[in-house]
Amino acid sequence: MTSLSEEVLLVVKKVRQKKQDGTLYLMAERIAWGPEGKDRFTVSHLYADIRCQKISPDGKAKVQLQLVLHTGESTTFHFANESTALKDREAAKELLQQLLPKFKKKANKELEEKNRMLQEDPVLFQLYKDLVVSQVISAEEFWANRLGGINNTDPSPYNNKQEVGISGAFLADIRPQTDGCNGLRYNLTADIIESIFRTYPAVKQKYSENVPHNLTEKEFWTRFFQSHYFHRDRINTGTQDIFSECAKQDEKGLKSLVTQGVKNPLVDLQSLEDKTLDEGYGICTTQPSTSNANKSVKDSSNSAIIKRFNHHSAMVLAAGSRRGELASDQASETSSTDGNSRDSDFFQPPVKKVKLQEAIEFEDLQRENRPKTVPLNLKKSDRYAHGPVPLQSQQYTTSQDIINSVNYIRHEMANYKPSLTQVLSSTAATSAIAALSPGGVLMQGGAQQAINQMVPTEVQGELKHLYVAAGELLRHFWSCFPVNTPFLEEKVIKMKSNLERFQMTKLHPFKEKIQRQYLSTNLTGHLEEMLQTAYSKFQIWQTRRMMRKT
């Protein structure tokens, strides 16, 4: 067998594929099938490549399992062991069901991540084009130490991704389908289950209490859909229903929400009326005692629907904001409870005051007298976004401060009076100016800047790309040192050849090109120097290795 090292999770014999009998193996990372009597797999799929599995309906004669790959191909296995076919299939399916999501997420995540990085970073994209597309190095090599870095060391950039809420209609998405013989089929996806759990924690609790021990997953969901809990218009009848407790819990939650009261006094309908009429006065009095008693079943089912809708929406809303606000929730929880008791008038007014002020404000009747601000005018927005982070972020100046200081400076300038007794002597001044002029003593380094004017922009761009590409390659090269494993040895040799190839295919043509345009060949000097350093390092390392070997 090819992969003895792999852990085999499940072996199913008598499985047909393309009318050939064989054995199905489920391993840690892949699923494989080999024809009978041969020790080779003719079919082997990594779990990450599988998009989904499908099974034949229960009534069918053939018991089959189909795997659909991301590429669109599919493979069908026919469980042919007459007595245990169904059981075999179920076992395989269950296992796959557990395994697939893990790999699916991983695969998708990686792909997404790569895509995202390339899209977000134009430099990287260019690099990718330069190195991978032109086949200087392979894609795997390219990503090898990039993704690693992202995945392990620096998860922050996508950790603060926005939390996705739950669709209000997730229950509506579970469309029951008739299966032909008086039955209903519900298709549940992992997303829907996740939504149900997030919205109704009570169900999740039930699930974790019951599922492995008392019920199978399938049974659990069957009961869920059968219960009145899902069919909200049904009146609670059976007590054997495991979800009746959930309903009660929901009821309790709803009640506690109601008794908690509302924080915004403007929407509190209970305290809206100042003085209600005393009992017995008024035109239309409702008699709660009687109206409850003789409510028809239909009426109460209607009001149950209404109640459930309110509850459902509140839960969905809460589920959406739950995670982010976990910490602050605690705070508001406590505050809202004592906001409820009437003793806490000391606490209440701020909300009320703010709301009242909001309510009476006419923004268009007022002159806008906000403090003047400096509009942000960005030439390169990406530099703004990726700029260095100040260590002390607390110390910043407001725009008002800036305006003030600008005004102050302007004021200073206007009132500037040179004190003529304290100036430099003319000779000292001229020598200073000379030193600071182009070509002067202090401006030696400035010659490099002239490249801006000397070289046409497209050459500049090309040069830039070359630098980036060379930098990337060199980084790979240097990261191999110290070479202490066979793998690194292999890599360093490969990198050396990569570098040489880069010099041949990229750098030399560029050099010739600028020579043709009669530009200073000096442009590539630094690049070559860097490569040379790498070569010499390699040389030294190789000679050392030779010496050690001999």
287-306 residues in contact with another protein (CB under 8 A) are 287, 290, 293-294, 298-299, 301-303, 305-306
Span from 266-274, 418-426, 480-488, 533-541 in contact with another protein (CB under 8 A): 266-274
x-or-dash pattern for another protein, window 351-370, by CB under 8 A? -xx--xx-xx-xxxxxxx--
Among 68, 317, 468, 488, binds another protein (CB under 8 A): 317
Contacts with another protein in 24-83 (CB under 8 A)? none
Smallest separation (angstroms) from another protein to the CB of 241: 21
Q: Are strands 63-69 and 43-46 parallel, antiparallel or unpaired?
A: unpaired
Please tell me the total number of residues recorded for the chain in this structure: 550
Least Å from the CB of residue 189 to another protein: 16
Q: With respect to another protein, which residue has the nearer C-beta, 285 or 505? A: 285
Q: In 3-state terms, what secondary structure has residue 264?
A: coil
Tokens in use for 117? 């990085």
Q: Which range, of 48-56, 71-79, 308-316, 381-389, touches another protein by CB under 8 A?
A: 308-316
Contacts of another protein in 216-245 (CB under 8 A): 232-233
Task: List alpha helices for 347-482, DSSP H.
Answer: 349-360, 381-385, 399-414, 426-436, 451-454, 457-478
CA angle 432, 434, 435 (to 5 degrees): 65
Q: How far is the CB of 325 from another protein (least distance, A)?
A: 11
State which residue, 3 or 167, has the beta carbon closest to another protein: 167
Q: Which of 140, 139, 126, 122 is nearest to 506 (CA)?
A: 126
Q: Which stretch binds another protein (CB under 8 A): 340-348, 383-391, 407-415, 524-532?
A: 340-348
In the list 146, 204, 228, 307, the residue contacting another protein (rule: CB under 8 A) is 307
3-state secondary structure of 21: strand
Interaction residues for another protein, span 111-140 (CB under 8 A): none
Judged by CB, which is closer to another protein: 277, or 434? 277
Identify whether the C-beta of residue 329 lies closer than 8 Å to the C-beta of residue 322. yes
Among 35, 165, 201, 253, binds another protein (CB under 8 A): 165
Q: Write down the least CB distance from residue 266 to another protein, Å.
A: 5
Question: How far, in Å, CA of 101 to CA of 397, rounded?
Answer: 49
Strands of 132-239 (E only): list them.
177-178, 184-185
Give the per-residue SS3 of 122-155: HHHHHHHHHHHHCCCCCHHHHHHHHHHHHHHHCC
Q: Choose, by CB under 8 A, the member of 82, 343, 412, 458 that binds another protein.
A: 343
Min separation Cβ 414 and another protein, Å: 33
**Range 246-265, binding another protein (CB under 8 A):** 254, 257-265
Report which residue type is found at 150: I
- Please give the residues from 168 up to 197 whose contact with another protein meets the rule CB under 8 A: 168-169, 171-172
With beta carbons less than 8 A apart as the criterion, state whether 127 and 466 touch: no
Report residue 59 as tokens: 């009534």
Determine the angle formed by the axes of helices 190-199 and 201-210, rounding to 10 degrees.
110
> Which tokens is 445 given?
């380094």
Q: Which of 39, 82, 140, 278 contacts another protein by CB under 8 A?
A: 278
Q: How far is the CB of 196 from another protein (least distance, A)?
A: 14
| 50-55 vs 63-69, strand pairing mode | antiparallel
SS3 of 185, please? strand
Closest CB to another protein among residues 10, 174: 174
Q: Which residues inside 468-527 make contact with another protein, applying CB under 8 A?
A: none
Cα gap 538→519, rounded to integer Å: 32
